[in-house]
């Protein structure tokens, strides 16, 4: 293939979020696994102070692959800049990204759509987390008043708004979604934390932090219910390209939506690549699919 016909992909990574390091890993994996016969790749690395973001307005690309997680990367901020720059980019647009990251607004939309989400509570045990972080950053299980004060203080390190919700007991599962108007759901993954009581930051990003079973050990009926609900969540906020919806199976029977990840992790340990692999996508094929949905 003539070099001039290759698709120019700029991979955007790093950023001001607490998930900066995870974003760098995701970005490097994307750059390293793009098919060089089809793509001409380069990268923009945003520092923790935000330096480098101005490169968006100077870049020449057919598509920008956004490999940024958390605030400023996954919340519509970068997406808005890319819109202003007139660049095509992977993943969801400004509105869906903003709703997906804002857990308070996300829950309002889900309730309006009749989709079950955790309820606010003043009872123990409860779950405390910042309203706009990913990867369980700043999240805690709370069992008494003393722990509550500590958990709120931790959450407020990352956000000025905090959610205090019912602590639901049941299997944790997640379902990835690919596509735009007519999305495809991938196999459901069951998550069994090995280093904590829930799928926290350490469980997500340390080796042997959790057992991830694909497909999940649930009935076909429940699997379909989870997948259908994941697609409904994805479409309700207007996602495109790819995403991943996290659930608790209350009493191991009833799916309750915890959140949507509009830019799920793309590290070797991440859940989306594992689900895609089970569905028959190699990692390069997954990246190609994500890019196609952006063009």
Q: What are the catalytic residues?
A: 19, 135, 270
Task: Tell me: is residue 144 an annotated ligand-binding position.
Answer: no
3-state percent helix, strand, coil for the chain, nearest multiple of 5: 35, 25, 40
* DSSP designation for 4: G
Distance CA 273, CA 90 (A): 16
The b-or-e profile of 107-140 (16+ CB within 10 A means b, else e) is bebbeeeebebbeeeeeeebbbbbbbbbbbbbbb
Structure-token pair, residue 20: 């900066």
> Residues 6 or more apart from 86 whose CB is under 8 A from it?
none
Count of beta carbons in the 10 Å neighbourhood of residue 72: 20
Distance CA 210, CA 235 (A): 29
> Residues 6 or more apart from 163 whose CB is under 8 A from it?
103, 104, 120, 127, 128, 129, 130, 131
> Residues 6 or more apart from 220 whose CB is under 8 A from it?
none
Task: Tell me: is residue 145 an annotated ligand-binding position.
Answer: no
Task: Tell me: is residue 62 an annotated ligand-binding position.
Answer: no
Q: Assign residue 89 a region: left if phi > 0, alpha if psi is -120 to 50, beta otherwise?
A: beta
**Residues forming the annotated binding site for Mg(2+)?**
246, 259, 261
**Residues forming the annotated binding site?**
246, 259, 261
């Amino acid at each position: 293939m003539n070099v001039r016909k290759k698709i120019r992909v700029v991979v955007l990574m790093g950023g001001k979020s607490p998930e900066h390091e995870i974003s760098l890993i995701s970005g490097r994996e994307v750059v390293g696994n793009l098919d060089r016969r089809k793509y001409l790749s380069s990268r923009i690395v945003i520092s923790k102070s935000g330096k480098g973001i101005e490169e968006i307005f100077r870049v020449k690309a057919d598509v920008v692959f956004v490999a940024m997680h958390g605030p400023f990367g996954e919340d519509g901020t970068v997406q808005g800049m890319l819109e202003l720059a007139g660049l095509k980019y992977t993943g969801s647009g400004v509105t869906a990204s903003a709703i997906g990251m804002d857990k308070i607004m996300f829950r309002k939309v889900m309730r309006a759509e009749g989709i079950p989400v955790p309820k606010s509570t003043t009872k123990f045990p409860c779950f405390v987390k910042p309203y706009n972080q990913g990867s369980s950053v700043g999240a805690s299980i709370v069992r008494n008043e003393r722990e509550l004060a500590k958990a709120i203080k931790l959450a407020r390190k990352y956000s000025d708004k905090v959610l205090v919700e019912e602590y639901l007991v049941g299997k944790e599962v997640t379902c990835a979604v690919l596509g735009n108007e007519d999305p495809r759901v991938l196999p459901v993954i069951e998550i069994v934390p090995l280093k904590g009581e829930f799928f926290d930051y350490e469980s997500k990003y340390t080796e042997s932090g959790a057992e991830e079973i694909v497909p999940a050990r649930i009935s076909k009926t429940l699997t379909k219910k989870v997948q259908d609900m994941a697609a409904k969540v994805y479409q309700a906020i207007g996602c495109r390209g790819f995403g991943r919806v996290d659930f608790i199976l209350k009493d191991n029977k009833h799916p309750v939506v915890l959140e949507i990840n509009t830019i799920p992790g793309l590290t070797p340990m991440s859940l989306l690549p594992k689900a895609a692999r089970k569905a028959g996508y190699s990692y390069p094929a997954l990246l190609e699919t994500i890019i196609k949905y952006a063009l």
